A = this chain, B = another copy of it.
Amino acid sequence: MADQQSTKPARGTRDFLPEDIRRRDYVIGIVRSVYQRYGFEPLETPAFENIETLMGKYGEEGNQLVFKILRRGEHEKSGEADLALRYDLTVPLARVVAEYQGKLPTIFKRYQIQPVWRADRPARGRFREFYQCDIDATGSTSPVVEVEVLSAVCEILERLGFSDFKIRLNHRRLLTALLTQATIAPNHHADALIALDKLDKVGPEGVRQELESRGIPDPGRNAFVNWIGAGYSPDFLDRLEDHFTLLDDQGRAAFANLRSILTLSTASVRQRVRFDVSLARGLSYYTGAIMEIAVEGIGSLGGGGRYDNLVGMFLGRDVPACGFSLGLERIIVVMTERNMFPATIAQGAVDVVVAFLDDESRGEAMKMAAELRQQQLRVDVFPDASRKFEKPLKYASARGAKAMAIFGENERARGEASIRNLTTREQQSVPRSEAAARIGQLVNAE
């Protein structure tokens, strides 16, 4: 035992023990069933991609957060990377849409629930390995897609028990119109959006400083910050358009697009929508409507939007696309804090534990287990003989079993089995031939 080693998972990652998995499976089950009811099909892509596939898709900051895999064999010494871990589920989707064009439906609607990896500084609720639950539809520019995506996401959150969430909605081309109106030059637009994306963290004054440090001059800087500081009101969309004196066709189309999304949404979705001119979304690939789910006091549970040019980077011609990514980890953290999980997910891992008092009774115990499993019960055999059965009893209770079957010399001699009800602590001997049925009744009676 010379080289005893650290037993912690790597920094920013977690082990999921059985109770954690039950919580995750509960949420993923609801996510999957709603996505399916909205006509989305499952897709999975490899954990790593060729490094060129990921580089240049997420902006400068994203590039630095990608985990890169060292070349192997004789090339290992070069210190070069040729592969990289998936950073999101959207770029792999774009690659898939380009690769399997002929094989996929004209409108490809997929969901994907897989981990992604980012070398971010770990913090409370922020991990280096975390699951995203994405839906995307490619092949249409219709606002019906945005509305379907938003509806699905709202239904998931409602089914999980969230009632107080809002949908922040904005449009990348409206942000362009806003920057134009504020007389910020086009070559500063990307920088301005990066600054705006930090609004939640640094506030309006922080954004102003960030704009300044990125060399964006006044009066544009000031005008822009004033615009994004405007509060929400139901008629804000109309009032804003009226104020835009420099609006071009694309800007007008952006306003019309947002109005279509609102009109087509059901009343229950529409009442959650907050048109929010300060929403930027970090990723550089968005081209149209952008959206984010926000919970008061919690922040974002996910976001998405339209990205009509990303598939084109792989295919050579554009395929329109729009999607949304739900953040599983944040949802689980909030649901745990708020006690939103149903009691049923805490149920025991097994129904019955079979124990034996001497090695000669092992065979009988294993036969019992086989009979009980044929009744579809979840059955565990305590593997070691123990004369007094305190150990298996303690173990059965730790595993949440409802019943225990016990075999020893006496039981074998009499052709019986001892059955213990772990709820009432009653124990009785029954004929061996009736034992399986009796235990089945006991378990199912609960």
Task: Say whether A142 contacts B383, CB under 8 Å.
Answer: yes
Query: Of B3, B266, B353, which contacts A313 at CB under 8 A?
Result: B3
Stretch at the interface among A94-102, A293-301, A424-432: A94-102
Q: Which residue of B lies closest to A374 (CB)?
A: B37
Task: Say whether B85 contacts A395, CB under 8 Å.
Answer: no
A10 near B: Cβ within 8 Å?
yes
A315 near B: Cβ within 8 Å?
yes
Query: Of B137, B313, B363, which contacts A1 at CB under 8 A?
Result: B313
Contacts of A228 in B (CB 8 A): none
In chain A, residues 3-49, which have Cβ atoms closer than 8 Å to a Cβ of chain B?
3-10, 13-18, 20-22, 25, 36-39, 41-49
A242 near B: Cβ within 8 Å?
no
A221 near B: Cβ within 8 Å?
no
Task: Give the interface residue-count category, chain A.
Answer: 35 or more
Task: Say whether B107 contacts A383, CB under 8 Å.
Answer: yes
CB distance from A43 to the nearest CB of B (A): 7
A330 near B: Cβ within 8 Å?
no
Q: Which residue of B lies closest to A155 (CB)?
A: B373
Contacts of A69 in B (CB 8 A): 67-70, 85
* Bound-state Cα–Cα, A333 to B109, Å: 26
Residue in A21, A46, A92, A379 whose Cβ sees the most chain B Cβ within 10 Å:
A46
Task: Say whether A314 contacts B398, CB under 8 Å.
Answer: no
Knowing A107-B382, A266-B370, A382-B107, say if A39 contacts B349 (CB, 8 Å): yes
Task: Say whether B72 contacts A81, CB under 8 Å.
Answer: no
* Bound-state Cα–Cα, A151 to B366, Å: 10
A337 near B: Cβ within 8 Å?
no
Q: Which residue of B lies closest to A53 (CB)?
A: B5
Contacts of A37 in B (CB 8 A): 373, 376-379
A183 near B: Cβ within 8 Å?
no
Knowing A1-B316, A68-B76, say if A48 contacts B10 (CB, 8 Å): yes
Contacts of A367 in B (CB 8 A): 266
CB distance from A263 to the nearest CB of B (A): 7
Residue in A1, A22, A37, A399 whose Cβ sees the most chain B Cβ within 10 Å:
A37
A103 near B: Cβ within 8 Å?
yes
Contacts of A100 in B (CB 8 A): 15, 17
Query: Of B117, B137, B266, B353, which contacts A366 at CB under 8 A?
Result: B266
Task: Say whether A9 contacts B379, CB under 8 Å.
Answer: no
Contacts of A263 in B (CB 8 A): 363
Contacts of A62 in B (CB 8 A): none
* Bound-state Cα–Cα, A67 to B84, Å: 11
Residue in A41, A81, A99, A398 whose Cβ sees the most chain B Cβ within 10 Å:
A41
Q: Which residue of B lies closest to A109 (CB)?
A: B380
A83 near B: Cβ within 8 Å?
yes
* Bound-state Cα–Cα, A180 to B376, Å: 47
Task: Say whether A52 contacts B6, CB under 8 Å.
Answer: yes
Task: Say whether A46 contacts B129, CB under 8 Å.
Answer: yes
Q: Which residue of B lies closest to A356 (CB)?
A: B144
In chain A, residues 129-178, which have Cβ atoms closer than 8 Å to a Cβ of chain B?
129, 137, 140, 142, 144-145, 147-148, 151, 155
The 3 closest A-B pairs by CB, nearest first: A79-B79, A39-B380, A13-B46
Q: Could you write out 30 A-B pairs with CB less than 8 Å apart? A: A1-B316, A5-B52, A6-B52, A7-B95, A8-B99, A10-B83, A13-B47, A16-B43, A17-B43, A17-B104, A21-B42, A36-B378, A37-B378, A39-B399, A46-B129, A47-B129, A48-B117, A48-B129, A67-B70, A68-B70, A72-B119, A77-B79, A79-B79, A105-B395, A140-B384, A144-B381, A144-B384, A145-B383, A264-B362, A264-B366
If A7-B99, A73-B119 are given as contacts, then 20 extra A-B residue pairs at C-beta distance below 8 Å, sorted by A number, are A9-B99, A10-B46, A16-B45, A17-B43, A21-B41, A38-B373, A38-B378, A38-B380, A39-B380, A46-B129, A47-B47, A48-B129, A64-B73, A68-B76, A77-B79, A106-B398, A142-B383, A148-B369, A155-B373, A266-B366
